[in-house]
Amino acid sequence: MANDRTILVLLGIIAAIAVLTTLHLAAVIFAPVACALFIIAIVWPMQRTLQSYLPQLLALALVVAVVLVVFILFASVAAWGFGRIARSLISDAQRFQMLYDHAVIWLEDHGVVVAGIWSEHFNMSWAMGMLQGLTARLNTLISFWLVVLVYVLLGLLEIAPVSRRIRTLMGTETARILIDGCSLTAAKFRRYMLIRTIMSIVTGAMVWVFALSFGLQFAAEWGIIAFTLNYIPFIGPFVATLLPTLYALAQFESLQAALIVFACLNVVQFAFGSYIEPRVAGNALAISSFVVLFSVFLWTVIWGLFGAFIGVPITIAILTFCEQSPATRWLADLQRAKDDGKDRR
């Protein structure tokens, strides 16, 4: 019996590795599908409500229009914030390079020889090239979202027929697990995005207020960047803290000022991301910080920046489906961040 369980576990691990490898190699196919399913789960209540009063195609057109407007607004705000900072870096590239060279010399004088290795590979020209490369990927991003939009259109049209076919063709228990799992997952996705959006707005506002009161240039832009990157757990807040810290070091030419900026921004990020948000999310999204961090890094490796964003929703979906079956419910309970009403985070 023990040998059989060991074999099953090993087979499960091999199957998981095979699935993840396939998802990585075929990212161009599966990533848009995952994004489309995530959007469909969020907007389906709107589609269902509208089509109870309007023809299905007209309701679908309105829902897709709302999705496009939200995406365009978000992309425009993010592009404005990052664009302003990027133009500032380009215009002051010589000054930033000089400050970087001084920092390298200071570190080498204090025995940090790795700084010399970094200086051979990292400089402002490299940073500018990286920014230009990100700009060049804009066309790829647009193509990605066009494919996602097509999947959203088709998916919203297929929800009702697929639900009927599941009830007809599958056993009662299997149909229940699939339908209840999808319904609960969609509800958790909507709650997750609502909470994440509210916390992102509050975090961005707090960063803006701090930057403005501290005299840091581009206070509004730093707030926008904090708002945008807060949608990516752990990685986003870290980058949103590191960038203004480095800029403060260049602006004030003071390590003490940079450390103050770094410390204060970390307090803001910790207060909202690690204390307030988990309590607002409640039991429905209470998965452990370890699982969240693991999901972010795992899906970042598999699908890049988009994977960092979608990693937590995928984990929520997996754990929600695990809750539907007695055979796998223990796995969902094991990953919960709370036990007996007490938050361990």
Residues ≥6 apart with Cβ < 8 Å to 35: 144, 148, 151, 306, 310
User: pLDDT digit string (tens) for 45-98?
Assistant: 999 999 888 898 899 999 999 999 998 898 888 888 888 887 777 776 666 667
Instruction: Please determine, for residue 194, whether its predicted confidence score (pLDDT) is greater than 70.
Output: yes
The answer to whether 339 and 283 are in contact (CB under 8 A) is no
Over its C-alpha atoms, the chain yields an Rg (Å, rounded) of: 23
Which residue is associated with the tokens 């938050």? 343
Indicate whether 180 pLDDT > 80.
yes
Structural element, H or E, at residue 338 = strand 338-339
pLDDT band, very low/low/confident/very high, at 227 (cuts 50, 70, 90): very high
DSSP sequence for 116-150 = HHHHHH-SHHHHHHHHHHHHHTHHHHHHHHHHHHH
pLDDT at residue 160 in the model: 82
- Of 168, 174, 238, the residue nearest 203 (C-alpha): 238
CA distances from 286 to 40, 211, 334 (A): 23, 32, 11
Cα distances (Å, whole numbers) of residue 109 to 33, 114, 123, 158, 249: 52, 12, 19, 65, 19
3-state DSSP assignment of residue 218: coil
Say if residue 150's pLDDT is above 70. yes
Q: What is the mean pLDDT of the segment spanning 33-46? A: 93
Contacts 24+ apart (CB under 8 A), 264-268: 264/210, 264/214, 265/207, 265/210, 265/226, 265/240, 265/241, 266/241, 268/203, 268/206, 268/207, 268/210
**Mean pLDDT for the chain overall:** 80
Task: Say how many CA atoms lie within 13 Å of 281 toward its Cβ.
Answer: 27
Q: Which of 56, 276, 274 is nearest to 159 (CA)?
A: 56
The span from the CA of 319 to the CA of 330, in Å, is 10
188 versus 123: the higher-pLDDT residue is 188
Residue 51, token pair as written in the block: 């089509």
Lowest mean pLDDT among 92-106, 180-194, 207-221, 282-296: 92-106
Q: At what angle do helices 27-50 and 2-25 cross, to 10 degrees?
A: 90
**What phi and psi values does residue 122 have, to the nearest 5 degrees?**
-120, 125
- CB 241, CB 266: distance < 8 Å: yes
User: What integer pLDDT is reported at residue 345 of this predicted model?
Assistant: 36
What is residue 144's predicted lDDT score, i.e. its pLDDT?
Answer: 84
